Amino acid sequence: MSTPLYQYQAPEPTSAQLESLELLRASERILLTGHERPDGDCLGSQAALARILNARGQSAFVLNPDPPEARYGEVTELAEFLVDDGGELPDHDLVVMLDGGDLSRTGRLAPRLESASSRKLVVDHHLHEGADWWDGAFIDTSASATGVLVRRIASHLGAEVDAGTARAIFTTLVTDTGWFKYSNTDQETMLIGAEMLGAGVRPAQIFSDLFQREEAEHPRSLSAALARTAYFGDGRLAVIDLPLGPDGRSSAADGDAALDILRSVEQVEVALIVREIGPARTKLSARSKGAFNVQKLAHRFGGGGHAKAAGATIEQPLGVARLELVEAAVEQLAVTKDRRSTPRSAAEAERRKRGA
Ligand SMILES: [Mn+2]
């Protein structure tokens, strides 16, 4: 391989981050975990951190509450990935929770993790509420992906990023930035991405592995979901509700793909998918563009996430949850500045400030 054009320089760690690094250095057998239904940021961060620690001669493995989707097969083969079987936790002296700061998001693993005598570390980029339950936290809510934080940790530990680790980290970036198109895409994201290309990542291959392996049913289930689109609040809010199928199973429609299409409509600022997952259980996926904060909306329903991507599990029947969500979202839209009135350039913003 030719000499890489660029090597990433991590920002100076904060004192809390320095303590986190000390925890990592001081541990021998490290259990990495994450949230239920792990996504590409969660799994990629875990694979990358496991490889970084293993290369240092430490023993790191992943234990998740749920199995990974098949699309992440090329990521989970990069480290030891276990799925919880409800039994005793494997021996470990440190737990690292990645891509989530609330232990409850590890689902049924949470009580066993909590009662384990091991020390606890969080590596995350979500807004955290509630008491700190950990011994250390490497948190930066401005990071586009947890993988960015893992890349910083590699720098701080003086670890090499090999081709496998690069693949894992690149997967985290493209998952959480929607392939570098969401507003969280910043210079650090692109610099790390550029560095990963130097380490052997081929973006087209990763795109194909992640996003071009749908089942034959995918276009039809997506179109059935999109046909349920309803608009509220002068078209600024788009909602798709997905009832259980005739077989009693929740819809298999790809929510992310549908949410992308809803947001492609010019006047849509908030897109919601409400999916029935049981008789009194509804899952919300919320996305926004412009100023609307979906984390705030999800929080009202017991969920969380980021300003532009959030979710919640609501203990209500689909119809009730949908009604309450629409009401809350329209209410919040009323106090959110209309996207069309948002200045498109710095020069325009300056003109408006001067009242011109
Ligand atoms: Mn993430």
Cα 99 to averaged position of ligand 1 atoms, centre (Å):
5
Q: What is the mean pLDDT of residues 181-205?
A: 97
Distance CA 151, CA 193 (A): 10
Tell me, yes or no, whether 199 and 231 share the same domain. Answer: no
Cα 351 to averaged position of ligand 1 atoms, centre (Å):
36
CA 177 to chain centre: 9
Cα 36 to averaged position of ligand 1 atoms, centre (Å):
12
* Alpha-helical segments (H) within 199-288: 203-211, 218-226, 255-263
Total domains present in the chain: 2
Cα 52 to averaged position of ligand 1 atoms, centre (Å):
19
The 3-state DSSP class for residue 285 equals: strand
Tell me, yes or no, whether 204 and 232 share the same domain. Answer: no
Residue 352 falls inside a structural domain: no
Q: What is the mean pLDDT of residues 179-204?
A: 97
The 3-state DSSP class for residue 82 equals: strand
Residue 275 pLDDT more than 60?
yes
Tell me, yes or no, whether 138 and 244 share the same domain. Answer: no
Cα 356 to averaged position of ligand 1 atoms, centre (Å):
40
Q: What is the mean pLDDT of residues 325-329?
A: 98
Q: What is the mean pLDDT of residues 92-117?
A: 96
Instruction: Decide: residue 292, CB within 10 A, 0-12 exposed, 13-18 middle, 19+ buried.
Output: buried
Q: In whole numbers, what is the pLDDT of the chain averaged over residues?
A: 94
Cα 54 to averaged position of ligand 1 atoms, centre (Å):
23
* The last residue of a domain, from among 185, 211, 237: 211
Cα 193 to averaged position of ligand 1 atoms, centre (Å):
16
Cα 29 to averaged position of ligand 1 atoms, centre (Å):
24
Q: How confident is the model at residue 94 (pLDDT cuts 50, 70, 90)?
A: very high
282-325 pLDDT, tens digit per residue, is 999 999 998 999 999 999 999 999 999 999 999 999 999 999 99
Cα 333 to averaged position of ligand 1 atoms, centre (Å):
26
Q: What is the mean pLDDT of residues 106-117?
A: 97
Q: What is the mean pLDDT of residues 241-248?
A: 93
Tell me, yes or no, whether 254 and 197 share the same domain. Answer: no
Residue 134 pLDDT more than 70?
yes
Cα 3 to averaged position of ligand 1 atoms, centre (Å):
31
207-230 pLDDT, tens digit per residue, is 999 999 999 999 999 999 999 999
Tell me, yes or no, whether 180 and 319 share the same domain. Answer: no
Tell me, yes or no, whether 205 and 235 share the same domain. Answer: no
Tell me, yes or no, whether 200 and 275 share the same domain. Answer: no
146-172 pLDDT, tens digit per residue, is 999 999 999 999 999 999 999 999 999
Cα 339 to averaged position of ligand 1 atoms, centre (Å):
25
Cα 115 to averaged position of ligand 1 atoms, centre (Å):
26
Tell me, yes or no, whether 281 and 188 share the same domain. Answer: no
Residue 120: per-residue pLDDT: 98
Cα 175 to averaged position of ligand 1 atoms, centre (Å):
8
Residue 345: per-residue pLDDT: 60
Cα 224 to averaged position of ligand 1 atoms, centre (Å):
28
Cα 101 to averaged position of ligand 1 atoms, centre (Å):
11
Percent of the chain with pLDDT over 90: 86
Cα 157 to averaged position of ligand 1 atoms, centre (Å):
22
Q: How confident is the model at residue 356 (pLDDT cuts 50, 70, 90)?
A: very low
Q: What is the mean pLDDT of residues 86-93?
A: 97
Tell me, yes or no, whether 171 and 50 share the same domain. Answer: yes
Q: How confident is the model at residue 130 (pLDDT cuts 50, 70, 90)?
A: confident
Q: What is the CATH number of the domain that holds 279?
A: 3.10.310.30
Cα 251 to averaged position of ligand 1 atoms, centre (Å):
24
Cβ distance 122 to 49 under 8 Å? no
Residue 346: per-residue pLDDT: 63
Residue 253: per-residue pLDDT: 86
Helix (H) or strand (E) run with residue 167 in it: helix 163-176
Q: What residue type is assigned to position 95 of the chain?
A: V
Range of the domain at 239: 218-340
29-70 pLDDT, tens digit per residue, is 999 999 999 999 999 999 999 999 999 999 999 999 999 999
Cα 146 to averaged position of ligand 1 atoms, centre (Å):
5
Tell me, yes or no, whether 201 and 252 share the same domain. Answer: no
Tell me, yes or no, whether 48 and 194 share the same domain. Answer: yes
Q: How confident is the model at residue 344 (pLDDT cuts 50, 70, 90)?
A: low
Cα 180 to averaged position of ligand 1 atoms, centre (Å):
14
Residue 251: per-residue pLDDT: 87
